Amino acid sequence: MAATETAVKQAKLDQYRIVYFATHGLVAGDLETFAKDKAEPALALSIPEKPNDFDDGLLTASEIAQLKLDTDWAVLSACNTAAEDKPGAEALSGLARAFFYAGARSLIVSHWSASDEATARLMIGTFRASARDAKLSHAEALRQSMLAMIDAAKSDCEADPRFWAPFTVVGEPAKPQ
């Protein structure tokens, strides 16, 4: 699917078990300099040729909350996706809360800026671990991927937590017995 706001809003996202956004997360403070009336967290998507109210290239928390999801996982593979909805607010009150309102049962979110290459390795490892053992919790699949990254590091620098520690799992769908 094209990474546009229009495509996301028009997609039948409730048909997918996993919804994955690999983009840049903007916290409310980032947006205040661009638009006083839209100072809320957002995911940056492709900017349309002719921006309008429906598609300005930013999928905001309020727009995310209106999506119809029925997903086990919403992966927000971007920087700062666990941030608050406005400066000084509690963590997980912005994008994360919006995805829960939309119908996601579990999220992978980040607490700070993340390396693109390391994030790709971390997410691939997480989904491989989950595919190997469907009984793993999402948090355990992420933990196994983190440990694998540390074990595979060719130097202490590559094992640095800044590469694997920004991400956390919030929520967990019910597992079949």
Beta bridge partners of 110: 167
pLDDT at position 154 is 80
Please list the alpha-helical segments (H only) found in 11-72.
Answer: 28-31, 61-65
- 8 Å CB contact between 53 and 12: no
State which of 111, 133, 159 marks the end of a domain. 111
Q: Does one domain contain both 124 and 106?
A: no
Residue 177, domain member (yes or no):
no
Q: Does one domain contain both 132 and 53?
A: no
State which of 60, 84, 111 marks the end of a domain. 111
State which of 59, 91, 111 marks the end of a domain. 111
Residue 122, CA atoms < 13 Å, CB-side half-sphere: 33
* Residue 96 lies in domain: 1-111
Q: Does one domain contain both 81 and 147?
A: no
Q: pTM (2 decimals)? A: 0.86
Angle between helices 138-152 and 116-132 (to 10 degrees): 120
- Ranges of residues in the chain whose predicted pLDDT is under 50: none
Q: Does one domain contain both 44 and 101?
A: yes
Q: Does one domain contain both 8 and 68?
A: yes
pLDDT at position 72 is 94
Number of domains within the chain = 2
* Strand duo 73-77 + 18-22: pairing: parallel
Q: Does one domain contain both 1 and 76?
A: yes
Place of tokens 């355990």: 140
CA atoms of 175 and 78, how far apart (whole Å) = 27
Residue 156, domain member (yes or no):
yes
- 8 Å CB contact between 113 and 59: no
| Structure tokens belonging to residue 171 | 């929520």
- 8 Å CB contact between 60 and 30: no
Q: 30 φ, ψ to 5°? A: -65, -35
Q: Does one domain contain both 90 and 128?
A: no
pLDDT at position 144 is 96
Q: Is 81 left (phi over 0), alpha (psi -120 to 50) or beta?
A: alpha
Q: Does one domain contain both 52 and 103?
A: yes
Q: Does one domain contain both 91 and 15?
A: yes
